[in-house]
């Protein structure tokens, strides 16, 4: 893996590296470069007045240029100076992984760029959103402290099976909407699937609720006062449509408090309300209040219930420090059972001999205070009586700070049910009076998670026909002329060729280079006749002046 000479990227664990894809800078077409330039020029003009003040100098600090799509090496060179790194991925990645990248101080950037027809806004993550939206504000030290802290909290959030169903539905819809020839019926079906998942989430998981806080801050946050807020959210900073629309009176402005967690969001629609924080410290305060109620902080019965509901890999931490990673399938007063494979760890490092191979059939253990009928030492046959009513009888064959291992062991519940039988083999009993923490994922991820959750869909990679490639060539010639000005005869030739394609953006770039009444008349007529292009074209004409 190319770490770009960036210490943050180099430090990524292998389970996160599996999401990384090559940027393939050569795949960006001249049209892609023009889309980037148009959005960035509009942003520079518009956002200098309504964005939180570090945004414009933040562009330079993040290694971004208005003129061309950023190269990942350039970004890492710049971001490394402020303690961050960047990698490219294939579209939406699972929320838990996204959060963990933040915790490592690495910005996740979708390698693709939006189509020209989605130049104002796209529901799919793209390099404009991820780099021009997220990266510039990272230069603010208070904000990047919040971002990395959010990542460390989010990486431990419990999630549900419904969360992953919604994730796959949103990912599928975002990919479909960026496909050039997607049928409207297919898009409608995908939108219906997203709506169905949203309406059948049940009680929101920790990850679902935390995602709302992330959305209303990192993606769509405002800072300042209700009367005069400034933009810092990446979703607004990267959308030339919503960055203007969000300031209109019809979009409610509410103070950002813990109540924001009660507001779901829809990535396919403009937001009906936005939240304003007076400062970034308030973001940390709200996050801290939410984290205090999460299972990784509370543990106990509440945490175990969340683990049971998630039906996914989680880690249960005993008061001794022992971490048990697997899928919880049963718990009651003083007893847990996890199905295989299970691994045991301490301080996030797997205990020797207690990996998934050894505990392939699962792991169960009581917890709580107990008494023993005799001294617990190797070779003694002992009977342990737990306060919960569970009894354990067996021959001690190994004792450590975290485990007591028994041969010929029987574990019985308070009502007489057999929880472990001698025929099942040796028994490892966890030591600990309390369950102090429960969180999502494995303790030692690199040992436990040989392969990460891979999305069911892949982003669309376009294949261009001869006509499209010819249009790309005209865009390339315009860029070459802008960088190497010569006589305007070449521009006239390009305009004559461009008339075959009815392309407004290339025409706008030509007009920027040299006044041409015919091009201006074409653009004005197109703006008047095509409402969806009206604002885009007039904004471009205003920049030309």
Render pLDDT for 484-511 as a digit per residue (tens, 0 to 9).
887 777 898 999 999 999 999 999 999 9
Residue 390 has pLDDT above 90, yes or no: yes
**Banded model confidence at residue 162, pLDDT cuts 50, 70, 90:** confident
**Banded model confidence at residue 460, pLDDT cuts 50, 70, 90:** low
**Greater confidence, 215 or 166?**
215
Quick one: 160 and 251 in the same domain? yes
Pairing status of strand 335-346 against strand 349-350: antiparallel
Quick one: 284 and 301 in the same domain? no
Q: What whole-number distance in Å separates Cα of residue 207 and Cα of residue 162?
A: 11
Residue 473 has pLDDT above 80, yes or no: yes
pLDDT at position 216 is: 97
How large is the average pLDDT for residues 37-60?
Answer: 85
Quick one: 201 and 235 in the same domain? yes
pLDDT at position 246 is: 87
Q: What whole-number distance in Å separates Cα of residue 228 and Cα of residue 276?
A: 10
How large is the average pLDDT for residues 134-159?
Answer: 90
Q: What whole-number distance in Å separates Cα of residue 524 and Cα of residue 276?
A: 38
pLDDT at position 12 is: 94
Residue 245 has pLDDT above 60, yes or no: yes
**Considering the domain boundaries, does residue 211 fall inside one?**
yes
Residue 167 has pLDDT above 70, yes or no: yes
Residue 410 has pLDDT above 60, yes or no: yes
How large is the average pLDDT for residues 307-326?
Answer: 94
pLDDT at position 357 is: 92
Quick one: 260 and 225 in the same domain? yes
How large is the average pLDDT for residues 346-358?
Answer: 95
Residue 440 has pLDDT above 60, yes or no: yes
Residue 128 has pLDDT above 70, yes or no: yes
Residue 31 has pLDDT above 70, yes or no: yes
- Residue 416 exposure: Cα atoms within 13 Å on the Cβ side: 0
**Considering the domain boundaries, does residue 58 fall inside one?**
yes
Quick one: 419 and 340 in the same domain? yes
> Domain boundary at 288, 318, 336, which?
288
**Greater confidence, 340 or 281?**
281
Quick one: 217 and 243 in the same domain? yes
Q: What whole-number distance in Å separates Cα of residue 226 and Cα of residue 234?
A: 19
Residue 125 has pLDDT above 90, yes or no: no
Task: Please name the helix (run of DSSP H) or strand (run of DSSP E) that holds residue 85, with its range, or none.
Answer: strand 85-89
Give the list of residues 6+ apart from residue 76 with CB closer than 8 angstroms, or none: 4, 5, 6, 9, 63, 85, 86
Give how far the C-alpha of residue 108 lies from the chain's centroid of Cα atoms, to the nearest Å: 8
Binding residues for Fe cation: 129, 134, 219
| Percentage with pLDDT > 90 across the chain | 64
Binding residues: 129, 134, 219
Residue 456 has pLDDT above 70, yes or no: no
Quick one: 435 and 503 in the same domain? no
Give the list of residues 6+ apart from residue 449 with CB closer than 8 angstroms, or none: 15, 313, 441, 442
**Considering the domain boundaries, does residue 460 fall inside one?**
no
Q: What whole-number distance in Å separates Cα of residue 545 and Cα of residue 526?
A: 18
Residue 450 has pLDDT above 60, yes or no: no
Residue 111 has pLDDT above 60, yes or no: yes
> Domain boundary at 265, 288, 311, which?
288
Mean pLDDT of the chain: 90
> Domain boundary at 244, 259, 288, which?
288
In 3D, which of 260, 266, 261, 225 has the Cα closest to residue 242? 266
Quick one: 413 and 485 in the same domain? no
- Backbone φ and ψ of 316, nearest 5°: -110, 125
Q: What is the CATH number of the domain that holds 126?
A: 1.10.800.10
Count the domains in the chain. 3
**Considering the domain boundaries, does residue 243 fall inside one?**
yes
**Considering the domain boundaries, does residue 1 fall inside one?**
no
Task: Please name the helix (run of DSSP H) or strand (run of DSSP E) that holds residue 340, with its range, or none.
Answer: strand 335-346
Quick one: 407 and 436 in the same domain? yes
Q: Which domain holds residue 425?
A: 295-448
Reading the block at residue 317, the tokens are: 């931490």
**Considering the domain boundaries, does residue 456 fall inside one?**
no
**Greater confidence, 311 or 177?**
311
How large is the average pLDDT for residues 380-400?
Answer: 96
pLDDT at position 120 is: 82
Quick one: 534 and 432 in the same domain? no
State pTM to two decimals: 0.85
Quick one: 23 and 151 in the same domain? yes
Residue 4 has pLDDT above 60, yes or no: yes
In 3D, which of 421, 422, 429, 408 has the Cα closest to residue 336? 429
| Percentage with pLDDT > 70 across the chain | 98
- Residue 450 exposure: Cα atoms within 13 Å on the Cβ side: 5
How large is the average pLDDT for residues 371-383?
Answer: 95
Quick one: 371 and 517 in the same domain? no
Pairing status of strand 314-318 against strand 273-277: unpaired
Residue 78 has pLDDT above 70, yes or no: yes
Highest mean pLDDT among 42-56, 153-167, 293-307, 453-467: 293-307
Q: What whole-number distance in Å separates Cα of residue 210 and Cα of residue 447?
A: 27
pLDDT at position 26 is: 94
């Amino acid at each position: 893996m190319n770490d770009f000479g960036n210490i943050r990227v180099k430090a990524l664990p292998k389970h996160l590296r599996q999401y990384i894809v090559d940027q393939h800078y050569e795949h960006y077409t001249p049209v892609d470069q023009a889309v980037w330039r148009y959005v960035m020029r509009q942003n520079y003009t518009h956002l200098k007045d309504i964005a939180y003040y570090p945004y414009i100098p933040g562009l330079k600090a993040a290694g971004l240029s208005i003129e061309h799509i950023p190269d990942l090496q350039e970004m890492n060179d710049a971001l490394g100076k402020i303690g961050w790194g960047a990698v490219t991925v294939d579209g939406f990645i699972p929320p838990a992984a996204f959060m963990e990248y933040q915790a490592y101080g690495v910005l996740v950037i979708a390698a693709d760029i939006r189509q020209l027809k989605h130049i104002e806004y796209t529901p799919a993550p793209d390099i404009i959103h991820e780099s021009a939206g997220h990266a510039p504000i990272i230069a603010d030290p208070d904000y990047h402290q919040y971002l990395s802290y959010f990542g460390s909290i989010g990486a431990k959030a419990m999630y549900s099976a419904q969360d992953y169903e919604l994730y796959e539905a949103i990912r599928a819809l975002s990919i479909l909407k960026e496909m050039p020839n997607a049928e409207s019926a297919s898009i409608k079906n995908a939108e219906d699937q997203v709506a169905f998942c949203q309406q059948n989430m049940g009680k929101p998981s920790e990850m679902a609720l935390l995602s709302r806080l992330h959305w209303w801050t990192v993606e769509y946050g405002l800072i300042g006062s209700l009367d005069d807020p400034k933009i810092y959210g990446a979703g607004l900073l990267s959308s030339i449509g919503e960055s203007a629309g969000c300031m209109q009176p019809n979009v409610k402005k509410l103070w950002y408090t813990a109540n924001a967690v009660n507001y779901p969001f829809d990535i396919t629609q403009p937001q009906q309300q936005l939240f304003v924080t007076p400062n970034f410290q308030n973001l940390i305060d709200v996050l801290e209040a939410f984290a205090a109620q999460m299972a990784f902080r509370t543990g106990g019965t509440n945490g175990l219930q969340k683990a049971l509901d998630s039906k996914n890999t989680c880690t249960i931490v005993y008061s001794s420090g022992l971490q048990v990673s697997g899928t919880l399938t049963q718990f009651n007063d003083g007893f847990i059972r996890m199905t295989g494979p299970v691994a045991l760890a301490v301080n996030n490092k797997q205990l020797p001999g207690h990996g998934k191979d050894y505990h392939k059939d699962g792991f169960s253990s009581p917890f709580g205070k107990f008494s023993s009928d005799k001294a617990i030492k190797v070779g003694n046959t002992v009977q342990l009586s737990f306060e919960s009513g569970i009894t354990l009888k067996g021959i001690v064959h190994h004792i450590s700070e975290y485990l007591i291992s028994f041969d010929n062991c029987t574990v019985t519940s308070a009502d007489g049910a057999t929880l472990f039988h001698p025929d099942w083999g040796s028994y490892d009993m966890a030591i600990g009076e309390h369950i102090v923490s429960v969180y999502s994922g494995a303790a030692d991820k690199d040992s436990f998670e040989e392969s990460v959750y891979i999305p069911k869909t892949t982003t669309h990679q376009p294949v261009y026909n001869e006509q499209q490639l010819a249009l790309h060539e005209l865009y390339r010639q315009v860029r070459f002329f802008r960088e190497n000005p010569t006589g305007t005869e070449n521009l006239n030739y390009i305009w004559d060729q461009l008339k075959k394609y009815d392309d407004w953006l290339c025409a706008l770039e030509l007009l920027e280079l040299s006044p041409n009444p015919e091009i201006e008349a074409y653009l004005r007529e197109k703006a008047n006749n095509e409402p969806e292009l009206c604002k885009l074209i007039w904004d471009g004409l205003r920049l030309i002046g």
